[in-house]
Structure 1
Amino acid sequence: MKKLWIIVSVLLLCACGAKSKPEQKEEKKKEEKPDIVAEVSFSAVGDNLIHGALFTYNNDFTYMYEATNYLTQDADISYLNQETICGGRELGLSHYPSFNGPYEVLDGAASAGFNWLATSSNHSLDAGEQGILNQLQYLRTNYPDIATTGTHASLEEAQQNTVIEKNGVRVGILGYTYGLNGYVLPEGKEYLVDLIDKEKIVADVKRLEKDSDIIAVSMHWGEEYSFTPSEEQQELAQFLSDLGVDVIIGEHPHVIQPMDFLTGRQGNQTLVIYSLGNFLSAQDQSDRMLGGMARFKVVYNKTKDEVSFKDVEFWPTITYITDGYQRYGTYALKDYTNELAATHTLMAEGQNVTREYFIERVNSIMNDKVKIVY
């Protein structure tokens, strides 16, 4: 009994003497909120170059774009370079060297799903001031959802930002041309056409970035029929990238040029498309039948205010002409067959417009920076 009492006493003493540990309160880890990210899909094509042969035999242009509608109607932003002015029949229809097309061309572009028309080119003043005003008025009245860049009806309009909002992302757009084929803007109406001028571009981008998450710029530049970007194109592209521009879409050479990625001074990435060639034209050379469609997604990280790219692709396009320059259409090279080539007007004239020829030309001109789909 004595031993048992000693053992019990020791156990009680230990129990009484033990200090209870305070409860450890686990710190609640701060939950990291996921970044808010949105995407905007783009489809961009080259020059809508409306020669006389197109409007002489056609009043309806809708059918000309039908074969590529599935690629232009599915994008959030679908871009077309409206190379030549469409001031309507009232001003007299004309073609090279001074163009003026019918309004039905614009109807066709709208039916194809284009919602951004670049309207500044070396042909912007071909039908004078009234040509610009007529084209803009027709678009504003009939297709208010189509945004335009590069030409303006008034100084007030020229000073307003043009922004397309898609999926909660604000895409600011601008457009410029290197010149006007010797035509001179009326004094006091320099606002009619936006010319490439670095001081103006800096001011425009600074004003636009306040209302934009992404900035895309159309540039009418380069040397006609050159498959490589000039030093001036490359210098201007880097200049725009350093300003923080996200996308550059180039036109004017009437033939395709490579696509590339640049790094701007702010560490930003810029997609530059030097030239998409002709989308629709009657230029009767096989290499000018070859155009391009850039398809890509711009990813905007709203949390970090960062832009990146995904699914960047180059889709070659072919202008298809039949019935002796009377009927026209544009196909993705992916859909262009040698059966179609056999009935192409240029094939009958002895030029090579086979599928194999265009694949070889694309591979020799483009680089490996983006995926080519054909």
Structure 2
Amino acid sequence: MKTTIKLVCLILLLTCLGACAAGADCPPEPQPETIRAETPADEFDDEEVTIVMVGDLLMHRLVQESGKAPDGSYDFSHLFTCVRDEISSADIAIINQETPLAGEGLGLSGYPMFNAPQQVADAVAEAGFDVVLQATNHTLDRGEEGVRICREYWAEYYPNVRIVGTALTEQEASKICIVERSGLRVAVLNYTYGTNGISPPAGMPYIVSLLDEEKVRADTARARELADFVVICPHWGAEYLHEPSEEQKHWCRIFLECGADLVIGTHPHVIQPVKWFSRDDGHKMLVYFSLGNFVNSTAERGAGVCSRMLGGMAKITIEKDEEGIVTIKDACVVPLVTHLTGGYAGITVYPFSDYSEALAVANSFVRERDPLFSYAYCRDLFTDVFGEFLPQAEPPGF
């Protein structure tokens, strides 16, 4: 989102310069996708783009209720209060919309067949997200109508936010999502392993993007032609396991063969490791196997359930050098904690660097669901899973 500020400044500068020339007409306002700054070769600075992504926006009933004000209106901005600056300052910010946001007309519900208020989309957009992933195992929880209502809401109110992973027409499904920032074109692809046994509507096999090898290879080949950098976001793996499954490893091999540069996974609802992979020809691919939940409030109880309250924000800086080669310059994971206090606006997400022993004790999850939850538990799990990919400026307690 910070690109917008740069563009506005550029437009104002051009307008002022044009006004100095007698009789000069004001040029039409340039479109963001076509603005390019020419830099002399002897003054070349590496072009850089920062990408961030968070995991599953899992709208359990308690999360939905946290956004309902006493007057009956909905506002979910509290979910993003403590991470808003990190999101809005990124060049490209991505979130996984785990559940339908089809609104009260189709009936609000939590697990196992989700449907959340459309106002969740308002909060996501206002937080600064540029790309919303919709290919999950819950995509069809409200059928074709749920997908349609959700996509139409995004298109009407937030047309600049890119929706990936669902489609209402075959033509829509064939498009490759390309986001251009600072002269770099980044492709974002999104797939899910399945839809919990719910079949796509008759005649609409394209409504949700499925992990199909032929499709993945074809899409990635087209993305490589159109973009400088290819990101694949698969909804994959086994729930509640901190190690990648054989299925995930299988797909990693395919993604690497296809030439993907970055893979960021969702679905297991717990965090998993980050690893580099490379081909014999030297091509490298970074994989975040699972970012866990961004927001969560499971009704389940027992030892270990608290691991679902921990997530990660992938943070990657890519750069293009003067030879036109795009590589990953820096990569880390910002640890996140879902904090519950109950009531209206009683759920928010903290970077662990801003969390504390006192907040951990005050988290109602400790009292109600899993007594194992503690500041030390969070610290140790983040260290065990993310290891060297934790931010260099580590928070106190690591």
TM over 0.5: yes
* Residues 120-165 of structure 1: per-residue CA shift (max 9 Å, x gap): 0000000100111111111111111211211112111111221101
> Residue 56 of structure 1 aligns with which residue?
65
CA distance in 2, matches of 1:212, 1:114: 20
* Residues 209-241 of structure 1: per-residue CA shift (max 9 Å, x gap): 222111111100000000001122122112112
> Residue 289 of structure 1 aligns with which residue?
309
CA distance in 2, matches of 1:231, 1:35: 44
For 2:102, give the aligned amino acid. G
Q: Report deviation, 1:352.
A: 3.3
With over 3 angstroms needed to count, the CA separation of the structure-2 counterparts of 1:241 and 1:307, relative to structure 1, is farther
Q: Report deviation, 1:325.
A: 9.2
> Residue 81 of structure 2 aligns with which residue?
66
Q: Report deviation, 1:177.
A: 0.1
With over 3 angstroms needed to count, the CA separation of the structure-2 counterparts of 1:330 and 1:369, relative to structure 1, is closer
SS in 2 for 1:54: helix
The match for 1:145 among 137, 160, 163 is 160
Answer yes or no: is the 8 Å Cα contact 2:334–2:390 preserved in 1.
Answer: no
> Residue 49 of structure 2 aligns with which residue?
40
Out of 320-329 and 308-317, give the one that drifted further. Answer: 320-329
> Residue 339 of structure 2 aligns with which residue?
320
> Residue 107 of structure 2 aligns with which residue?
92
Q: Report deviation, 1:310.
A: 2.1
CA distance in 1, matches of 2:389, 2:333: 10
With over 3 angstroms needed to count, the CA separation of the structure-2 counterparts of 1:282 and 1:315, relative to structure 1, is same
> Residue 201 of structure 2 aligns with which residue?
186
Answer yes or no: is the 8 Å Cα contact 2:337–2:349 preserved in 1.
Answer: yes
Identity %: 35
CA distance in 2, matches of 1:109, 1:260: 28
Q: Report deviation, 1:55.
A: 1.7
For 1:108, give the aligned amino acid. A
Query: TM-score normalised to the size of structure 2?
Result: 0.82
CA distance in 1, matches of 2:65, 2:366: 22
For 2:313, give the aligned amino acid. M
Answer yes or no: is the 8 Å Cα contact 2:332–2:389 preserved in 1.
Answer: no
Answer yes or no: is the 8 Å Cα contact 1:57–1:326 preserved in 2.
Answer: yes
CA distance in 2, matches of 1:268, 1:135: 38
> Residue 309 of structure 1 aligns with which residue?
328
Q: Report deviation, 1:371.
A: 4.2
Answer yes or no: is the 8 Å Cα contact 2:188–2:231 preserved in 1.
Answer: yes
For 2:336, give the aligned amino acid. T
> Residue 109 of structure 1 aligns with which residue?
124
For 1:38, give the aligned amino acid. E
> Residue 291 of structure 2 aligns with which residue?
276
Out of 153-162 and 349-358, give the one that drifted further. Answer: 349-358
Q: Report deviation, 1:44.
A: 1.0
For 1:140, give the aligned amino acid. A
For 1:82, give the aligned amino acid. Q
The match for 2:374 among 351, 354, 361 is 354
CA distance in 1, matches of 2:324, 2:66: 50
1:341 and 2:360 aligned:
yes
CA distance in 2, matches of 1:323, 1:186: 39
Answer yes or no: is the 8 Å Cα contact 1:172–1:214 preserved in 2.
Answer: yes
1:127 and 2:146 aligned:
no
Where in structure 2 are there 5+ consecutive unaligned residues?
A: 1-40, 68-73, 300-304
CA distance in 2, matches of 1:309, 1:160: 25
1:233 and 2:248 aligned:
yes
Q: Which has the higher strand share?
A: 1
Answer yes or no: is the 8 Å Cα contact 2:66–2:347 preserved in 1.
Answer: no
SS in 2 for 1:129: helix
Q: Report deviation, 1:265.
A: 5.2
SS in 2 for 1:257: coil
CA distance in 2, matches of 1:81, 1:225: 17
With over 3 angstroms needed to count, the CA separation of the structure-2 counterparts of 1:299 and 1:333, relative to structure 1, is same
Q: Report deviation, 1:56.
A: 2.7
CA RMSD of superposed structures (Å): 2.0
CA distance in 2, matches of 1:264, 1:80: 29
CA distance in 1, matches of 2:48, 2:264: 19
